[in-house]
């Protein structure tokens, strides 16, 4: 339970948001205008403030700036909730010092997930759509246009989590078996999307590769990490012959130097996607959960996002899942796949992976239909995020090493992958 | 008889663009969707509540706010609504139906370049429809709007309602 302050001049919305948050156990205070909200924030020191932009008198941006200027209120994380939901509004809100931006209308689930993520991350982090978390640059000018003055930490009811860089280098031995941390104690989510299927033949690697290329087409620097311990196929699909794989990291006593890690990556020239390959043959042992997290953390220093292809639930994949901002569960429409996916979702829940981070993708790998999508949704008790149509050109795409999002960018398959890309990364 | 889904109540928030201003505000529906209010030939102005104004070239900066306001409809270039359903008229059948298809279009209107989909029955010829419909405003769904004079200023909306009388260029992107 956290104490949350809501500042909004729309009394109906104020009451509705208050109710949404109180139902999940938060203690909510409200203010109908910016000046009153600033007073209340200084007096009560809430753990989070939710602020509307469009208010008479002080606008939401003004309120955030004033909160950040006052040392008493500077450590309060802020979520902007507004009907002004255009890209420039989000930019303006983040520049003013907000930690997250939500556009109206908002569902109770979206609101509570974002609120929880922002409280967990603290004032030094921004939480984007898909709960993608990134540190706020400390110095003005570090990121063009960002002028957010982040104050020194003050006493706060919820201690801010350690930044990723706070982990002492060299403490995590690579290849040593260990357990990943419970999800609720993790410091930060990384811009990692783990694509997973525990049943073979569902097109998990195909989805992961096409997703990476779709993201790269949006001028992002993308890396795909093949976490398969039983012989990865990512290089095969891209016609690459990498000299190295993550197997080279096994047995190292220290965390890999970022430069050394960079040397393991192969480059897919047409798309610019970097590839961390899996060993071509089943590996003798695998990465530990902490080692996998360390590798992903290092990769996200250069690449945003990293797409991880996972086809088993070993310690490395468990570690990746816990730090991933989104998890894509790939399934096909045959009964065994439905059953496996249902069990995987239960397992992910038991691992503390919030359902809000998971997207289920139904990939039609055959031209015929088996279990209808409605029946699958009922069986899984959750919606299918993206329905990927059957694409007869898939085998040719693999043989030629040109994934379909590049070979047939106007196909229904490519459109569905682009839709998936939009849902996993904002 | 109207379907329950089509009888909308409450408020819809939108962005209303003239050639110089970005006006954010809420339209009270009272059972009449925004598109029908814009196409009401008997009213020259559209009433907005909680109206906030920004210069179009600095669209994130709020320069004025008003509890109520009136916007002259024929001076509006476009209206941007976040949800595509909010862009439908009361008689939804013209723009929505299981047999309707999306026609990708580019519309240059009042200094904005709008790309998106006009959703019509396949029997309707889209350029003919744009030329001859008696409606002032027509919806373009899943639209992206770029300000021609400042191409880094981009708006996105589930529905963008376009003032037909201010259209400068109209083109089909795919036939």
Confidence of residue B7 (pLDDT cuts 50, 70, 90): low
User: Which tokens in the block code for residue B80?
Assistant: 């941007």
Are the C-beta atoms of residues A199 and A342 closer than 8 Å to each other? no
Confidence of residue B137 (pLDDT cuts 50, 70, 90): very high
Count Cβ atoms below 10 Å from residue B74 Cβ, excluding itself. Answer: 10
Q: What is the ipTM of this complex?
A: 0.85
CA dihedral B110, B111, B117, B120 (to 10 degrees): 20
**Cis peptide upstream of residue A282 (ω within 30 degrees of 0):** no
Tell me whether B67 touches chain A (CB under 8 Å).
Answer: yes
Tell me whether B33 touches chain A (CB under 8 Å).
Answer: no
Which among A92, A104, A105 has CB closest to B60?
Answer: A92
CA nearest A228: which of A266, A277, A180? Answer: A277
**Cis peptide upstream of residue A290 (ω within 30 degrees of 0):** no
Residues of B in contact with A64 (CB under 8 A): none
Tell me whether A54 touches chain B (CB under 8 Å).
Answer: yes
Averaged pLDDT score across all residues of chain A: 80
Indicate the angle between helix axes A60-69 and A34-44, nearest 10 degrees: 30
pLDDT at A62: 92
Residue A220 scores a pLDDT above 80: no
Residue A270 scores a pLDDT above 60: yes
Residues of A in contact with B62 (CB under 8 A): 53-54, 59, 61
Question: Which position has the higher pLDDT, A284 or A404?
Answer: A404
Residues of B in contact with A11 (CB under 8 A): none
User: What is the rounded distance in angstroms from the CA atom of residue B93 to the CA atom of residue A166?
Assistant: 58
Residues B66-107 have pLDDT tens digits of: 999 999 999 999 999 998 999 999 888 888 888 888 999 999
With residue A49 as reference, give the H or E element that holds it: strand A48-51
Residues of A in contact with B59 (CB under 8 A): 86, 88
Contacts of range A214-217, beta carbons closer than 8 Å, 24 or more positions apart: A214/A405, A214/A414, A214/A417, A214/A418, A214/A420, A214/A421, A215/A305, A215/A307, A215/A421, A215/A425, A216/A271, A216/A272, A216/A273, A217/A271, A217/A405
Residue A422 scores a pLDDT above 70: yes
Residues A65-116 have pLDDT tens digits of: 999 999 899 999 999 999 888 989 988 999 899 999 998 888 888 899 899 8
A185-199, A217-231, A314-328: least confidently modelled range = A185-199
Confidence of residue A426 (pLDDT cuts 50, 70, 90): low
């Amino acid at each position: 339970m956290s104490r949350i302050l809501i500042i909004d001049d729309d009394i109906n919305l104020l009451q509705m948001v208050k109710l949404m948050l109180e139902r999940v156990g938060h203690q909510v205070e409200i203010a109908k205008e910016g000046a009153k909200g600033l007073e209340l924030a200084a007096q009560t020191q809430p753990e989070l403030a939710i602020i509307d932009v469009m208010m008479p008198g002080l606008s939401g941006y003004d309120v955030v700036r004033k909160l950040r200027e006052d040392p008493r209120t500077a450590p309060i994380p802020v979520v902007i909730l507004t009907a002004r939901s255009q890209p420039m509004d989000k930019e303006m809100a983040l520049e003013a010092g907000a930690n997250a931006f939500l556009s109206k209308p908002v569902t109770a689930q979206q609101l509570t997930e974002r609120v929880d993520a922002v409280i967990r991350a603290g004032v030094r982090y921004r939480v984007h759509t898909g709960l993608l978390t990134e540190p706020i640059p400390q110095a003005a000018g570090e990121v063009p246009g960002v002028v957010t003055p982040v104050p020194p930490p003050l006493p706060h009811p919820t201690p801010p989590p350690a930044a990723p860089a706070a982990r002492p280098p060299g403490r995590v031995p690579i290849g040593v078996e260990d357990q990943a941390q419970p999800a609720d104690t993790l410091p930060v989510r990384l811009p990692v999307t783990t694509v997973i299927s525990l049943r073979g033949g569902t097109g998990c690697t195909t989805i992961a590769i096409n997703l990476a290329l779709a993201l790269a087409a949006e001028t992002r620097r993308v890396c795909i990490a093949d976490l398969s311990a039983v012989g990865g196929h990512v290089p095969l699909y891209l016609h690459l012959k990498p000299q190295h794989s993550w197997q080279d990291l096994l047995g190292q006593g220290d965390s890999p130097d970022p430069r050394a890690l960079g040397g393991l990556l192969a480059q897919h020239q047409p798309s610019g996607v970097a590839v961390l390959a899996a060993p071509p043959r089943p590996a003798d042992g695998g990465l530990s959960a902490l080692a996998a997290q360390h590798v992903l953390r290092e990769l996200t220093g250069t690449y945003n996002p990293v797409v991880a292809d996972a086809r088993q639930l070993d310690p490395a994949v468990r570690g990746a899942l816990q730090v991933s901002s989104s998890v894509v569960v790939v399934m096909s429409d045959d009964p065994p796949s439905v059953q496996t996916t249902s069990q995987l979702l239960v397992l992910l829940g038991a691992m503390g992976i919030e359902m809000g981070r998971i997207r289920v993708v139904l990939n039609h790998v055959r031209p015929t239909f088996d279990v209808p999508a409605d029946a699958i949704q009922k069986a899984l008790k959750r919606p299918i995020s993206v329905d990927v149509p059957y694409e007869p050109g898939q085998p040719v795409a693999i043989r030629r090493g040109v994934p379909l999002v590049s070979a047939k960018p106007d196909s229904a398959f490519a459109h569905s992958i682009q839709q998936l890309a939009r849902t996993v990364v904002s | 008889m109207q379907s329950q889904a089509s009888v909308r109540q409450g408020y819809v928030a939108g962005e209303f663009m003239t050639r110089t201003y970005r006006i954010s505000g809420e339209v009270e529906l009272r059972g009449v969707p925004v598109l029908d209010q814009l196409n009401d030939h008997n009213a020259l102005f559209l009433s907005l509540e909680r109206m906030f104004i920004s210069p179009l070239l600095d669209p994130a900066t709020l320069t004025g706010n008003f509890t109520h306001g009136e916007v002259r409809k024929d001076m509006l270039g476009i209206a941007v609504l976040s949800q595509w359903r909010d862009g439908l008229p009361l008689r939804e059948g013209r723009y929505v139906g299981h047999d309707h298809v999306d026609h990708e279009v580019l519309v240059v209107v009042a200094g904005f370049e709008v790309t998106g989909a006009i959703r019509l029955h396949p029997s309707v010829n889209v350029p003919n429809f744009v030329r001859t419909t008696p409606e002032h405003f027509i919806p373009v769904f899943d639209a992206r709007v770029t300000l021609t004079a400042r191409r880094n200023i981009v708006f996105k909306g589930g529905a963008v309602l376009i003032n037909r009388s201010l259209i400068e260029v109209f083109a089909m992107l795919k036939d």
